Amino acid sequence: MSKVTPLYLRRTGICTTDFPKYSAGELFARAKGYGFDVVQFGFQTVVETEFDADGKIEFPDFSELPAGAMGAIERAALSSGVEVGAINGTFNAAHPEKEVRDEAVRRFFGLAKAAKSLGCGIITLCSGTRCAEDLWTYHPDNGTPEAWRDMMDTMLRLCEIAEREGVTLAVETEASNVISTPERARKLLDEAGSARLKMILDPANLFPPGTAHPENVRPTLRHAFGLFGRDVVLAHGKDIKESEGIEFCGTGEGIVDFAYLAELLCEYGFAGDMMLHGIYDENKFEAARAFWESSRG
């Protein structure tokens, strides 16, 4: 493949969940200071919301949000010049208890309106797990028809909200979740049949246990793009170390070939933002951003 300058890549951003919890003003100011013009925002990352994720639902009930919280976030984004490019709407969409799924869907109406008030058109999702305690933890029942049925029912309900509110939903493959492979991602998109449901391309999430080795990187990336590359609306910059398990790491610290990732994004017509993720150390943010920006050409 010939090298193509990826002018399609709009901006380099960062997931605010990589920061410690700050006031909204300080969070956005720090993001700007590290050279980011856009963020993927999580409501649990600013003190004004008084919200902590509980392992089931990672966004608040907006009817209970403290007065002034949304205003503080809006002002911080505006004054910093950092755009909210995506918002975390992650919850356990395959939770074994219907009451948990229903509560998340109920809250989702408020989340979609909050996204629009922040000028954001993308809400990120988690396909979920049968693990009742944590939405990112594997459970052996994730591959059962019942888990798929419950996850699918949840996704279709979210698509209805997204259509009504004019937002785009984005889910990613995750070895610990129901959508654990590119094949299952393709199945989800086909069964949902909604133009409002799209994909996040997180390269580190494409390696199940036993596969995180350098010789597998390019074939694995190419395989995923072949199945859902035209449906990618957001890219993540998480990396993974070589191992027989799953050991995530910061951008440029593992085996992911980010230059090849940039080429594939270009080839498949990606026109969105890259959100760095998995760093969790502010001392490494600027180096990670520079690494990605040099990788993309």
Q: Which amino acid, 99?
A: E
CA distance 107 to 113: 10
Q: What is the pLDDT of residue 213?
A: 98
Dihedral sign from CA coordinates of 111, 112, 117, 121: positive
The pLDDT tens digits for 221-262 are 999 999 999 999 999 999 999 999 999 999 999 999 999 999
Write down the pLDDT at residue 9: 62
Q: Is the pLDDT at 5 greater than 90, yes or no?
A: no
In the predicted structure, residue 268 carries a pLDDT above the cut 60? yes
Residue 292 has pLDDT above 50, yes or no: yes
Query: Per residue in 25-62, pLDDT tens?
Result: 999 999 999 999 999 999 999 999 999 999 999 999 99
The pLDDT value given to residue 8? 52
Query: Quick one: pLDDT at residue 10?
Result: 77
Residue pair 165/113 in contact (Cβ under 8 Å)? The answer is yes
Percent of the chain clearing pLDDT 70 (strictly above): 97
d(CA 169, CA 44): 19
**Res 229: pLDDT:** 98
| Confidence (pLDDT) at 169 | 98
CA distances to 48, 76, 107 from 149, rounded to whole Å, are 37, 40, 21
Question: What stretch of H or E contains 115?
Answer: helix 98-117
Q: In this structure, what DSSP letter does residue 244 have?
A: S
What's the mean pLDDT in 81-109? Answer: 98
C-alpha span between 213 and 254 (Å, rounded): 10
User: What phi and psi values does residue 86 have, to the nearest 5 degrees?
Assistant: -155, 155
* Amino acid in the structure at residue 80: S
Question: Residue 2's pLDDT band (boundaries 50, 70, 90)?
Answer: very low
The pTM score is: 0.96
Residues 183-206 have pLDDT tens digits of: 999 999 999 999 999 999 999 999
User: Could you tell me the pLDDT band of residue 297, with boundaries at 50, 70 and 90?
Assistant: confident
Q: With b meaning 16 or more CB within 10 Å and e meaning fewer, what string describes 165-201?
A: bebbbbbbbbbbbbbbbbebbbebbeebebebbbbbb
CATH number assigned to the domain with residue range 12-295, chosen from the 4 options 3.20.20.150, 3.90.550.10, 3.40.50.1100, 3.30.70.141: 3.20.20.150
Judged against a pLDDT cut of 60, whether residue 125 lies above it is answered with yes
Token digits for 146? Answer: 């019942």
**pLDDT tens digits for 144-169?**
999 999 999 999 999 999 999 999 99
Per-residue confidence (pLDDT) for residue 6, from 0 to 100: 46
Contact 91, 102 (CB under 8 A): no
Burial of 101-119, coded b for 16+ CB within 10 Å and e otherwise, reads bebbbebbebbbebbeebe
